[in-house]
């Protein structure tokens, strides 16, 4: 199990995530209000910026919603990633507010 720290909708959440479960699925199982849509890599609503930690990203499924530039710059889809270490992630809408 890895610890995931998620900032979303102005709040911070911590939860455990098994290595074969996406952070989106783990958060939803705990009724954590992570932005979500299609849950299969198409809509981009679950886009996060990874602040710390190692992860795998399903590149085939993520290609519709993430550009190559975003992939290179630490953006990921919470529905198409799995943690390889403890992770700190922030929903893109919260991250963009921090940049202003
Ligand atoms: S929920 Fe649609 S891309 Fe993740």
Give residue 41 CA to ligand 1 midpoint distance, Å: 5
Please tell us whether the domain made up of 2-99 is placed in CATH 3.10.20.30: yes
CB 53 near ligand 1, within 6 Å: no
Give residue 100 CA to ligand 1 midpoint distance, Å: 25
User: Average pLDDT of 1-5?
Assistant: 97
Domain boundaries, the chain: 2-99
- Segment 39-90, tens digit of pLDDT: 999 999 999 999 999 999 988 777 889 999 999 999 999 999 999 999 999 9
| 65 CA: nearest ligand 1 atom | 3
Give residue 38 CA to ligand 1 midpoint distance, Å: 5
At a CB cut-off of 8 Å and minimum separation 6, what does 57 contact?
A: 71, 76, 77, 80, 81
């Amino acid at each position: 199990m890895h610890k995931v720290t998620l900032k979303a909708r102005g709040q911070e959440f911590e939860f455990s995530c098994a290595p074969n479960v996406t952070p989106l699925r783990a958060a939803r199982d705990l009724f954590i209000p992570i932005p979500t849509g299609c849950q299969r890599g198409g809509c981009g609503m679950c886009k996060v910026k990874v602040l710390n930690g190692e992860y795998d990203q399903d590149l085939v499924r993520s290609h519709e919603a993430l550009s190559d530039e975003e992939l290179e710059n630490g953006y990921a889809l919470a529905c198409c990633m799995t943690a390889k270490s403890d992770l700190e992630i922030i929903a893109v809408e919260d991250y963009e507010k921090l940049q202003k």
